[in-house]
A and B are shown apart, each in its own frame.
Chain A
């Protein structure tokens, strides 16, 4: 018994060392994923983020699967993803934007400069909807099916490789 107990520290340490070694090889996951996948969108109705387009509400997510893009004019990666969003829009995807903590003039300026892929942009001045769907940063893109259920979350800017993924997810959400 005593003999065995003496090996216990080594066993515990070996367990830790193995775990730590495994974790060192793993890519560090920086993102907090939403646990709302499979859940319906919360009720919300946001004012238009600028004069050009209507605002956004839960009721807008009907008819077909759509993308919900959380973004902001002050967010640098949002500039990077603008061409990809535009490409998605050209392929007939409807993208509804929610601008986080943003001013109408900034939103208008951003869209004029980097293109406007949205059909609607709601203004979320206090991150209410963002928190409501479990998004933890900008930009993030969600796939919402025709019943208003969140089906997929993409964290970070949409790169060229992510476009087919999003299209496939939209297809799956049919």
Chain B
């Protein structure tokens, strides 16, 4: 049902025609780094940072001016030799976990990691119970049948 509804808002958020500044975008907002290796690093990082103005887009996907400025920060910091991890931390220090699509284990996000482990355990348990047990009595059940 759903993606079209989601789209509606994206435009509403990303490109309202009024109240837009007329400044040219920051140098690295729409320009790639010359070094393909660095650009790949920057691009991978930008895919996982959340645009703060548009709320459900990565900064790589957004045309909001602020997303452009964030891309500029990412690219120019990568160029200055910072690692993607440092940049992510720098942003998290300013905006909290919200800015990163890649949750890290912390006091607020541990269930995101604990529950999958729990799911693995449950899955293993269910499979052992449903399948493992059958191996022993499956044979004689088969024999009886």
- Tell me if chains A and B make direct contact, with any CB pair below 8 A: yes
> For chain A, what secondary structure do more than half of its interface residues adopt (helix, strand, loop), or is it mixed?
loop
Chain B residue total in the interface (Cβ 8 A): 24
9-residue interface stretch from A55-63, A114-122, A124-132, A164-172: A124-132
Option from B19, B22, B94 in Cβ contact (under 8 Å) with A36:
B94
CB contacts (< 8 Å) of A72 on chain B: these are 21
Q: Which residues of A lie under 8 Å from residue B20 when comparing CB positions?
A: 74
In the bound complex, do residue A32 and residue B26 qualify as a contact, i.e. CB atoms below 8 Å apart? Answer: no
Q: Which of A115-174 contact B (CB under 8 A)?
A: 125-128, 130-134, 136-137
Within B33-59, the residues touching A (CB, 8 Å) are: 52-53
Cβ proximity bits B62-82 to A, threshold 8 Å, 1 near / 0 not? 000110011011000000000
**Are the C-beta atoms of B23 and A102 separated by less than 8 Å?**
yes
- Which chain A residue shows the least CB distance to B94? A134
Contact call B95/A126, Cβ cutoff below 8 A: no
Map CB proximity to B onto A11-43 as digits: 1 under 8 Å, 0 otherwise: 000000000000000000000111110010000
Contact with B along A63-98 (1 / 0, CB 8 A): 000000000101110000000000000000000000
- What chain A residues lie within 8 Å of B70 (beta carbons)? 127, 131
Q: Which 3 A-B pairs have the closest CB atoms?
A: A134-B94, A127-B69, A126-B26
